[in-house]
Each structure stands twice: as structure tokens, then as C-alpha cells.
Structure 1
């Protein structure tokens, strides 16, 4: 495309030069006093117009000299001035106003002198009037070039202002987004951190008292204690990212000052995730097929989060249903599927919530496919196909 745009002006300039050369060649042929020298001058002066955009001084100097030779010798009249007017336009447009004015005065003065010295069929008054008319055309050419130059400068300035305004809008948008992130971080900290801390502390106290009395600690209480600790780590990691979006890492990988070790939201913690779901009373099985290998971090996290959200939905909405988790390691993609035998049916599908929307966003960002729908035999299925290459 760039090559076409580069050749198009050159082709137009070549066509202009060819048309002018052909027109003036005809005038040379029908002018009795014109000869071979005049034809050569016309051809050279016309062909210099090919360079009027890229080298405007070439047609101004060389073209004016050639057309001056033709005009003084053959006296063809106004047509000989056309290439000079084009050269004057290009020179003024390029900023060479003084040279353009001098070339115009030299051409008009020499032509006027030659015509007055060899008056044949015209009166001196008519010759002067014709020269004044040509002078008006030269002035119009210079004015048109000046207007074109200023208009081009105005358009360039307008483009620069538009680009600057766009940069300003982007900066304002980034600043507002940063302010909104800080506001969300404050709201999350004020509303959730305290509540989760209370849950964690109370669960820890209950576990401590039960063990102190020699009683068996209920599994659900241990699950609450562990889940509250994980929730606190994730919340603090999320708050760190919201407050400093340029910081390296991911909320899933961030550590915590109160708990040992990072929260590793990856498939190597899948057994812990399923055990925690079982501690709440959910019957869950895990099947891993294919040759297990290292996954891209974003695929690993997305797979973990999809299983986590699916098991959470089964516990909340399926009324004691059993869940089957299947992980299939393939060469090009990772398949994550969670099926349950709960109450969902094809005739009355559940309304998608924020969790399913988050799943879909994760999968779409990785260029994968997600299917979340009731199964024909009853229950619900979530199937995510995650490509292992770069997202498209």
C-alpha cells in the first residue's frame, strides 16, 4: 500500500508533463518561425514538471529558461507561460517565494521586450495588456500556492492537536482508572478484611478450644479455618495489585505477611482444593489423563480457578450432588471439565451468575472455548478448552 501511494503522485506528475509537452509540441509545429531548437526547449521545459513536487527549483530554473528561449524566439503567446506558472506554484508552495517572483519577472520582462521589439500583427498596447493579464495569472498561481501551503500547515497542526488531545484523554482515563482502583481497594479493605479476619479468628478459637477439651474437631470447622486463611491471602494480594497495578506478579501468586508461603493457585494444589470441597460434604472425584507437563502460568491459574468456581457452584446450588473433575493434558490444549448430577435440567437452565461470567472471561482471554450448560441426563457441566500457546 505504501508503494502504491508513493508511485501515484509520480504518475500524476508524469501525466501532467506529458500533456503539457504534447500541447506545446503542437504549438511548435503550427508556429512558422519555430524550429528544432524550440521543440527541444519545449520538451525539456515540459518534462521538468515531473519534479515539481520533489524538487520544485528544477522546473522553476530549468523550465523557465527553456520556455523563455521558446517564447523569445517563436513568440507563441500565452501558452508558453503555462509550464512557468506551474513551476511558480510549486516553488511558492515549497517556500521559495523570492525565487518564484524573480523567475516570473524575468520571464514576463523578457517576453514583453521581445514582443515589443518585433511587433508584427499586434499594437504595443495589446502586447502590454496581454502581459498584464499574464502577470495576473502568475499572481493567482502564487496566491493559490500560498493558500495551499497555509492550509497544509493548518491540517498538520490540527492533526497534532488531535493527537495531543487523544493523549490527554488517555492520561485522564488512566488517572480515573487508578482513582477507581484505589476506591475499590479501600471499599474491599474496609468491608471484607475485617469480616474475614473475624471469621478466621473465631474459627481458630473454636478449633483451639475443641482440641483443648480433647474433642474431635469437625471437618467443616477446619474447612472454614483454612478457607478463611486462603480468602485473607487472596484479598490482600488483590488489594496490592489494585493499589499498584504495575507491580510484577499476579494476585494468585502474591504472598502474605501473616501466613507462611504464597497462595499457589495452580493445578498442583488441585487435591487440596478438592479435599476442602469434600470437607463441606460434597462428594467429588478427580481424574487426570494425558502426560502431565508444565503449563503456561496463565493457563495453570485459569484451570485452577475454573475448577474452584465449578465446585463452589455445585456446593451452593446442587443440593448434595456429586461432582466429577476431569483434567486432560493434551499436546496443544488443556481440557478442564467438571460434571455434577444436581438439579439442573435442560428445560430450566440456571441463570448465569458472576462466577460463570468470570470463567468465560478467563477462557476468552486465553483464546479458548467454554461450555457451561445443563446435561441431558441431568445436572450441570462446565468444560473449558484452554490452548497452551499464545492467545490470539
Structure 2
């Protein structure tokens, strides 16, 4: 087959029926500046474990680790141990393995089974970790009306075989931050009471590059001595194309020696803690570009704009008596909503109507204890322009009006001004247009 024919065949197979900017289901970055894309293309064939690579991507990765360690208030950012990964799922697996190895060194020969404490709102990768490494998953059902871990319950579920407690900074269900500081305080009380001493990992896949810029007073990171490790996704609010994750440990003392391997058969001496070996360097190069390009102020402006859009969309949804907003973008720039008790239609029907207008809006059930509630979620990313947000608001209004009429419950049309005209701030990465 000629190359152009093969290209067209593959492209036609994969041509999306929803433009990436209208996919409100994903947290993944769907657009970067041309310069960042060019860098990724130039280093498409570079491997992070190639010891003779002229541009030492391992050095760039370590600079990114140090930047994250400083952002997350590590005691000594320059000596913090961390690694790039293929995504947050691999980073979580590594963090879990580190906790498991440290527990094994303490409980060697005991014959006991380790356990991991977390809420039912964690990402599925934590269930995978427990299944793959035979760790008992002690999941706490979320409380009625809440979506995060209960600190007291988490502390009481721990015992001498608990390898750690997982907290989430930005759940996929509604974007809310779990109370990391309160969990650590409850664990401190537990240690004082009976000596059970358990570390905490923060799964900050999305919030790790949002909270430091928008909520600097929120204490969730290495300022808490019980937090041993934190992960985030470079390909989410790190603003890098997939796939890239980061894992940072507090300091070398919490990283088991067995987790690291040193090799020299790639042309140079290399130490690695990753689960995989070959890893593309292009996403790391793009992450370093974004850190250089934007700096702290650039990231802060982008995240603030995303949060402002989320809050504006939540305010628009609140105009409808049929809808009930669950999260308004006050943590992650995410809006989750469902239908009210007296609505004539379901949130799934609304999502289907929006799908007809080109929007991909997920509808899903909440975690255990609230599985009878179906919600829809709008993830506000940097490429959701103000114009697109107004279009989304108009389409929501029209969909609600049509569904009311279809179910025989027609009511007056609501206004759909998401933002005051002329007040919008330009996105930091919008130089190439929407």
C-alpha cells in the first residue's frame, strides 16, 4: 500500500466525531502551542534511558522533579527523589510499591497480608495495584452528600499491616479535594493512642498542578510530615500531550533501595525507579518547555481562567430548577451536576442532547453509597475558550427547553450569559486562536 493511502486509511479509521476541544469528559490536555508540538516532534525518537542522548533528558526530568518538589514544599527540593512515568497510573503503582516494600522490611516473616486504606472515590488504578500485588483494599464508602475520604474512619481502619493511606487531590467524580490535612491529623492521634504509624500518599493526578497556584493556603503536600509521596499527571493540568506522569518522594529516606536499579548497557550509567524501561522523552521535553514558557505566574493565570469558566458554567446551570449542581469548580475546574427531584428528564437524556450538538459530556453513577445518583461532568481545560463556553451554555439551555417540551413540562427559557460580554481574560496558550 502506498504511504499516502496507508495514512488516509488510518486517519479515516481514527477521525474523531467529536473535536477534542468539545470533549468535556477528559482531563487530558488536548492542545499545546506549535513550539511545544515541534519540540515533541523533534524528539519523537528519543528515549529517556539512552545514556548517549546529546540532550540529556534525564537531566531535564530531574529539573522538573526539583521544580515539583519545590512547588509541593519538600524539605530539600534539590535532593528530592522522583521520576517521570507514563502517566499517573504508573506513578501510583510505584508509590504503592514503595509503601509495600517498606512494610515488608518491617513485617518480614510475619505471614500477614498487607492492606491499603482509601476511599471508594479513588481512581481505578489503586484497585489494580491491590489486585496485582495481593494487597487488601480497604475502601471507605463515601458519606451521603460527600465524595471524599472520612479522616476518622480512615485512621480507625489502619493497623500494623497497613502500608499506607491514599488521599486524592481532585477526584474524577466531582473534582473535589479530599481533606489530606485532616487525615494526617487523625493518623497522628492514632499513633499517639496505640503506636500505629502509617504514611500517606497524595494522588494529585489533577490537583497537583492546580492547588499550588489557586489555593496556596491549602495544606495538603510535604508541609505535612506524614505525606511521603505525591504524584501528578503532566498530561492533565500540567498542559502536556499524553502520556506523562510524575512521582516525587519527600526525601531519599522513604524510597526503598530495592526500588532503584542502575544499568550501563545503554551507553552510560543510569539509575531508574520506573516500572517500565523504555519511555519516550518527548513528553518530558514538552513539560520542561511549559515550565520555562509559563512559569508560576503563567500557570496561575491559566488555572484561574479555567476555574472562572467552571464557576460561570455552574452559575448558569443553577438557573434551572430541573438541575442540581454538585460541584462548582471551587476545587478542580470541574462542574458536576444532576437533575433535581422534580425534573421531567434525566441527566443522561441531557447528555444525549448535548451529544447531538457535538459535546461529549459523560454521565455516570457516583461511588458506593450513592450509586443511585447519576451525574454529568464538565471538565474545563485551557482550550475551552470563552466563545465555546458561551456556545455550551446556549446548547444546555436549548437542550433543557427541548426536554421539557418533549416531556410536556415546558417552562420559560433561561438566560445563557456565561460571562459578561467583553470581560473575558485571554488564555495564556491562546496565541494560535481558539
TM over 0.5: same fold?
Answer: no
Superposition TM-score, scaled by structure 2 size: 0.20
The answer to which structure has the higher strand fraction is 2
- Rg (Cα) greater in structure: 1
Superposition TM-score, scaled by structure 1 size: 0.22
Kindly indicate whether structure 1 or structure 2 has the higher relative contact order, using CA contacts under 8 Å at least 6 residues apart: 2
